[in-house]
Amino acid sequence: MQTLVSKIEIADKIIRPAIRETPLEYSHYLSAQTDSEVFLKMENVQVTGSFKARGALYKIKSLENDPREIITASTGNHGLGVANALGITGRKGTIFLPTKASTAKVEAIRSRNAPVEFHGDSGEITEVYARKLAAETNKVYVSPYNDEDVIAGQGTIGAELIRQLPDLDAVFVSIGGGGLISGIGTYLKSVNPSIQVIGCLPQNAPVMYECIKAGKVIDVEETPTLSDGTAGGIDHDSITFDMCKKIVDEYVLVSEEEIMESMKLAVKKHHMVIEGSAGVAIASILKSKDKFKGKKVIAILCGCNVSDDILKKVVC
């Protein structure tokens, strides 16, 4: 059976022509603030403004012998990734979004000419509906995280990090459903088990953290968060739960104020826009600075797709 690591290496080759190998930028400001060497993996400049383009493209390319239409559900970035992949491959599909999805992400998906439908006021409700519809209509459901091919695509970031900074000590990764950290962490640990994989979550929606604490996937009450890309529940059969148990060394929870300050920091110190889920990773590095003095640490800036109202708050 093909291992996830070998799948990541295959995905790295397959998606390379259509995906950017994003820069790894040294942050002088964050390095000075933390007394460590901080690098920013800039998935915010990925082709869709998010890492999700990777997993979506690899998954859909892996379906070349399955001609059925695609259905997916997303809070925005995964849907945009799928829309991008549909355009590249010429496949047909529909993206289902919660009614509260970021306007910026909705507009970006529509700009790819992919059909969009709305259902439910949370990512979890939308996912349940889309999965059921796919089963009833014999279409392929592409999960945002609960799929090994999607995880392998996200894990190509880990392969890039080893090429760009082979002696890294730790990586800070925001967690929603866990696909990103599962892919990156699995690859990095296969190369060097001593690399620390730090899971970063908003205090308002710490779903994976609470599930790990409980020892099983549970329903977790959430409140609104700037990190809308990590919001939503986890499938009770999600393969990412066991992966996170195995590869995540530590979890850091950050407040909405800390997320906003990190988003502002990115604008003021690095002249770039990041979304809330990327701010979670920066905020977590700042919160953990005493533990990583003198170390080479990386924050995964997972995306840049923010709504106009949040962007106004960030730049003001």
pLDDT of amino acid 124: 77
Tell me the mean pLDDT in the region 272-295.
Answer: 97
| Pairwise CA distance, residues 270 & 252, whole Å | 23
Q: What is the DSSP string of 147-206?
A: -HHHHHHHHHHHHHHHHH-TT--EEEEE-SSSHHHHHHHHHHHHH-TTSEEEEEEETT--
Residue 16 buriedness (CB in 10 A; 0-12 / 13-18 / 19+): exposed
Average the pLDDT over 99-127 and give the result.
86
Confidence label for 20 from pLDDT (cuts 50, 70 and 90) = very high
Is pLDDT of 242 > 90? Answer: yes
Does 286 share its domain with 206? yes
Pick the last residue of a domain from 108, 142, 176: 142
Q: Across residues 231-247, what is the average pLDDT?
A: 93
If one counts the domains in the chain, the total is 2
Kindly indicate the confidence band of residue 76, based on its pLDDT and cuts at 50, 70 and 90.
confident
Whether residues 206 and 68 share a domain: the answer is no
CB 144, CB 72: distance < 8 Å? yes
Average model confidence (pLDDT) for the chain? 95
Question: In the prediction, which pLDDT does 29 show?
Answer: 98
> Are 163 and 263 contained in the same domain?
yes
The whole-model pTM stands at: 0.95
- Give the pLDDT confidence of 118-172 residue by residue, as tens digits: 999 887 788 889 999 999 999 999 999 999 999 999 999 999 999 999 999 999 9
How many angstroms separate the CA atoms of 73 and 58, rounded? 17
Confidence (pLDDT) at 1: 45
Lowest-confidence region among 60-64, 75-79, 103-107:
103-107
Q: 210 and 264 share a domain? A: yes
- How confident is residue 2, by pLDDT bands cut at 50, 70 and 90? low
Same-domain status, 193 and 292:
yes
Q: Are residues 171 and 224 in the same domain?
A: yes
Q: Which domain holds residue 224?
A: 4-50+148-315
The domain boundary residue, chosen from 121, 142, 163: 142
Find the CATH number of the domain harbouring 176.
3.40.50.1100
Is the pLDDT at 263 greater than 90, yes or no? yes
86 and 219 part of one domain: no
Of 102-111, 134-143, 305-314, the range with the highest mean pLDDT is 134-143
Taking 50 as the threshold, does the pLDDT of residue 216 lie above it? Answer: yes
From 110, 142, 174, give the residue that closes a domain.
142
Does residue 22 sit in the same domain as residue 80?
A: no
User: 86 to each of 31, 61, 63, 199, 278, how far by Cα in Å?
Assistant: 40, 9, 11, 30, 25
189 and 290 inside one domain: yes
pLDDT at residue 251 is higher than 80: yes
How many C-beta neighbours within 10 Å does residue 43 have? 28
Residues 177 and 276 in one domain: yes
Q: Per-residue pLDDT tens for 178-200?
A: 999 999 999 999 999 999 999 99
